[in-house]
Structure 1
Amino acid sequence: MSTKKYTLAEFFCGCGGTSRGFTRSGRFNVAFGNDVKNEALKTFEFNHRHDDVPPATIREDIRLLDVGSIHNALKERGVAKGDLDCMIGGPPCQGFSQLRRNEHREEGKIVKFTGYSQLAHDPRNDLVLRYLEVAEALRPKFLVIENVPQMLNHGFDGRLGRLSEIVIQMLEKDLGYKVEVAVVNCADYGVPQLRERAIFIASSVGPASLPKRTHADPKDKTLLDSGRKPWVTVSEAISDLPPPLVEDSLGGGPLSHYAGDPSAYAQLMRSSEAFPFNHVTRSYKQQVLNIIKEMRPGQTWDAESARMRTKYERAITRRANAKNISHDRARSELEQAGVVNPVFYRDYYWSAYTRLAWDAQALTITANANFLGSGRFSHPTELRGITMREAARLQSFDDDFRFVTSMNDDQSTDKIGIGMDMIGEAVPPNLSQAIALHLASQLDQRSAGTKVTAKEMTTQKHKEKA
């Protein structure tokens, strides 16, 4: 097995979920990271501080980022112009800054290419266009785009899906890449979470393809018999973590803080020589806890609110009959007495306030995971939301990864909102590790095969464009 290491540049890097997976593969050195969020890039830098060669980082809007500064940063890390092996990022597709495009383009010294005009007139496409422009300048052997599945249906020119079609067209015709696109379920790559992502893999060194799936729905016997492992459950991911304390005082403590024997997954996550940081959750108002205490693991809001209303209706009917009063009067009295919680008569999103189930996978962990009304972010049995560390485990971050929640203090690990924002927006490291190993194997084959000259590659690209 080859031990050669390749190079990665990550844009929209956030806290570094992608780079963690690439580093963990043992096949890549992270040479560069770029993002605009202070604490996220601070976390990226902190977790790469012990790399053989820590990556260069630039904290700036990619639209204002001069390509020359990227080349210089890569050169300082030993990556010459044209030698970058992989570039990865997840540019958002809408909701961008309202600054005028010409201001961005002038300051960022953008060089246009053929497909530029197809996206340029819509400012919402600024970031995806800029990402492609940077790729055109860096010419990595592999280019990866990671995004929400909705990107593939994003409307443009009055037609759904047109944006992704144009992106593929630019990659193939303008930049000369072979492209493969698919929506993947992160659970199929050992992430204990039913999180779907759109993945574009573009290759300039051969056919493009996605890594083989390693896990499958445990109900699919055919896939399990073919060698795939069952999806990882919430229990396997977090049941070895103890109840959290009010402050992050367990972090850095002895490994004896862990509770119980680890699953195979949890054992892989226990990469630290001490108990991990970030095992804290926020305090919740009593009205939120009054909802959570009634929820059963793995159920939907619709099912649980219907169950509670049925229970309440029996109590209301009994009181109305016993006191010979109206249904509405009986309900009002029971609400005042705290017997009936009126919130269960309201309509919410189907996963609002719901609990994780030990024997299933988490739903998508989002940046709002500290707001229990935003989704399935409550602990399976305890009366609380999940901690940052539990969310990180469900995203497949190993325990040695520390989320730094202050720009000015490496020891700050307990600001829940900032930490959950980083965790929810990250690429799950297990998914990126699978991509890294897959791309490394193709780069190995290229290195072992007959190398073509730069002139031959340029000639081939012109033929493909023609």
Structure 2
Amino acid sequence: MVAVDLFCGAGGLTRGLLDAGIQVKKGYDIEERLKETYEKNNEGSEYHCTDIRKVSGNSLLQDIDLGNNYLLLAGCAPCQPFSSINKSTNDKDGRKILLLEFGRLIEEVRPDLIFVENVPGLKNGKGKYVLQQFEQILKNMGYHYIYETLNAKEFGVPQKRKRFILLASKHGNVDLPSPTHGPKSPGNRPYVTVRKAISKYPPVTAGGIYSKIPNHNAPNISEKNRMRLKQVTKDGGSRTDWSEDLELYCHKNHRGHTDVYGRMKWDDVAPTLTCKCTSISNGRFGHPTQTRAISVREAAAIQTFDDDYIFYGPMSVITKWVGNAVPVKFAKIFGSHFISHIGEIE
């Protein structure tokens, strides 16, 4: 089985598919800076920096041997237009049509298998109309498909991360993989916790770096935010622990959004990582005990990247890449599932 990864980002999906035993021939994305991170960490996978709207089926299929391989076309079109945290009502957001560009390539390439990942809002929110059009493409072409909202924590990822998942096949009915962790799993296997994911990393200060571990650096914070974080109870506290003199004006008489400036809990899964997951002012991204946000390396570990997966670029940029990635182990689950599906039909 070979694969092409559309909207590949820094390569979380590609790495997971490779780990499952699928040869990912190409990754496509629009940011030139991704090339070094993608190719150095995913040997044999070639990065193509291009607008997906300019990619033709013929160019995508170059150097792919369809005579001797099943082809998986996988991708995670930008999810921001469909996210619940995006309050924009702009129906003209050009990113919304990128899923339909994925559909166009399906029509041109006719892959054996299809994998789509996105936010739950694609199914029941802002993206519903786009999804209906995408489904019609699959129906017209005779694909068997299934989709559902799955939580990555049920598949060995130390993070609460709900995602829309669609699997499709030309070769018969396809189902979704069963949970490997939590109450729905065999033997009620416990979720992987923050402690298991990041407690191994040595301490680092806000604004500091631990040079022996790639990307183990945390952003600096102001003195006032340092004081605020010191008042947040270790192991799961929130901004409600602050003294009144440290409260932000926008939080006075407002008790919602308590994850902002909060700390993660050691023995629980992490919250959903975002493209600002090393910023304490953007979510519960404080380290459980240290006076800082989680480091880039810790964020990557929560996204189940191995420590030898190195990100190249400035911290603000690679934080975005890490937060937007498909968790590697989550991706591997689906790669293995596709391999089993093909094994059943053969």
TM-score (norm 2): 0.89
> Is 1:379 aligned with 2:287?
yes
1:177 aligns with 2:148: no
| AA partner of residue 233 (structure 1) | T
Map 1:299-310 onto structure 2 (within 5 A). Answer: 299=236, 301=238, 304-305=239-240, 307-308=241-242
- CA 1:155–1:390: 2 relative to 1, 3 Å: closer
Q: 2:174 aligns with which of 201, 205, 208?
A: 208
Match of 2:29 in 1: 35
Over 3 Å counting, the alpha-carbon distance change for 1:240 and 1:168 in structure 2 is: same
Give the deviation of 1:164 after TM superposition: 2.2
Offset of residue 298 of structure 1? 5.6
2:189 aligned residue (207, 223, 229): 229
Task: Report the counterpart of residue 11 of structure 1 in structure 2.
Answer: 6
Per the TM alignment, residue 95 of structure 1 is displaced from its structure 2 partner at its CA by 5.1
User: Does the Cα contact within 8 Å between 1:185 and 1:194 map onto a contact in 2?
Assistant: yes
In the superposition, relative to structure 1, how do residues 200 and 369 fare at CA in structure 2: closer, same or farther (>3 Å)?
Answer: same
Please tell me whether the aligned partners of residues 154 and 163 of structure 1 are also in contact (alpha carbons under 8 angstroms): no
* Aligned-pair CA distance for 1:228: 3.8
Greater per-residue helix proportion = 1
Which of 140, 156, 165 is the equivalent residue of 1:199? 165
1-structure distance, mates of 2:133, 2:68: 24
Alignment correspondent of 1:250 = 211
Instruction: Indicate how the Cα distance of structure 1 residues 48 and 93 shifts in structure 2: closer, same or farther if over 3 A, else same.
Output: closer
Amino acid in structure 2 at the alignment position of 1:22: L
CA 1:227–1:153 in structure 2 vs 1: closer, same or farther (change >3 Å)?
same
CA contact (8 A) 1:82 1:138 kept: no
Please state how far the C-alpha of 1:80 moved relative to its aligned partner: 3.4
Amino acid at match of 1:250: S
The alignment partner of 1:87 has SS state of strand
Q: CA contact under 8 A between 1:7 and 1:84: conserved in structure 2? A: yes
Partner deviation per Cα, 1:382-432 (whole Å, 9 max, x = no partner): 001110110011111111111111xxxxxxxxx211111110000001110
CA-CA distance at 1:308 after TM superposition = 4.1
> In structure 2, what is the equivalent of residue 152 of structure 1?
123
Alignment of 1:219-298 (within 5 A): 220=183, 223=184, 226-244=186-204, 248=209, 250-251=211-212, 276-297=213-234
Question: Which residue identity is paired with 1:64?
Answer: K
Q: Please name the residue that 1:80 is paired with.
A: 66
Aligned residue for 1:227, secondary structure, equals helix
For 1:238 and 1:418, the matched residues in 2 are separated by 21
Whole-Å Cα distance in 1 between the matches of residues 96 and 110 of structure 2? Answer: 21
Matched, 1:131 2:86: no
Q: How far is the alpha carbon of 1:94 from its aligned partner?
A: 6.8
Which sections of structure 2, spanning at least 5 residues, go unmatched?
83-91
Whether 2:336 is the aligned partner of 1:341: answer: no
| Whole-angstrom distance in 2 between the partners of 1:378 and 1:94 | 23
Pick which of 146-155 and 277-286 moved more: 146-155
Determine the structure 1 residue equivalent to 2:335.
436
Amino acid in structure 2 at the alignment position of 1:292: L
Q: Which amino acid aligns with 1:241?
A: Y
Contact 1:10/1:87 (8 A) holds in 2: yes
Deviation of 1:166 (Å): 2.8
Secondary structure of the residue that 1:86 maps to in structure 2?
strand
Number of aligned positions between the proteins: 333
Deviations 1:104-161 (A, max 9, x none): xxxxxxxxxxxxxxxxx995532111111111112111101100111112347xxxx3
| CA–CA separation in structure 1 for the residues paired with 2:93 and 2:218 | 40
1:455 corresponds to which residue? none
In the aligned structure 2, how far is the partner of 1:364 from the partner of 1:205? 34
* Counterpart AA for 1:345: K
On the 8 A contact 1:233/1:361 being kept in 2, the answer is: yes
- Sort the Cα spacing of 1:122 and 1:43 in 2 relative to 1 into closer, same or farther, 3 A: closer
- Note the C-alpha offset of 1:194: 0.4
CA distance in 2 between counterparts of 1:436 and 1:370 reads: 29
